Amino acid sequence: MSRKFTIQLVLIVLVIVAFVSYIKPKFDELRDLENDIVSYKAAVADATQFTSLLAELTNRADSVSAGELQALEKFLPSETDVVEVEQDIEAMAILSGLLPISIAVSDAEESQREVFDDEEGEIPSDMLLERSLEAKRFNMTLVGEYDDLKSFLENLEVNAYPLKIVSLEAVSGELEQGGVVVNSGLIYNLVLEAKSFNPIQN
């Protein structure tokens, strides 16, 4: 083996050793640094987008008038005023030609807030929203003609706050009070539901 070949072989080995021990790690460091820079730029972009969205939402919230806030509170109150809702239902029934016999208020079963047991103590956003809604049900008996019921349902649709129809049953017969027949015809057993929004913290 010639001296020249031996020198070339040694140089090749040294180059390989230098690449493996020094140059390649430096390339890896540069690659990691490049990835960090990309991640940082993405984080900055996300933060900028979030800040812009937050500013937009804040401006929109500030632009809501007192009248609009009052209408929103009426449409979806933080707490259902059962006396007011009961009076509204009774007034709509009478104006529609129906005779309100009884109206009783109860809590809707699905409105009960369950304890969410999670190791991280977090609640999914959709469940958080659902648990923030509370419902009151108004069980009533109304008497009247079919056209009167249609008028009553139409009034429900245009009411200032939503009243959901949970169940409706119509039967024909005579209605007695104290052993005296006070009305004969269609008797409606109706359940309406009013919801309120009371957000809970995650």
Domain ranges of the chain: 1-63, 76-197
This prediction has a pTM of 0.56
* pLDDT tens digits, 59-105: 776 776 777 666 666 677 778 889 999 999 999 999 999 999 999 99
96 contact partners, CB below 8 Å, separation of at least 6: 144, 148, 149, 151, 152, 155
Rg (CA), the chain: 35
> H/E element holding 182?
strand 180-197
Token representation of residue 150: 């249609």
CATH number of 76-197: 3.30.70.60
Total residues found in the chain within this entry: 202
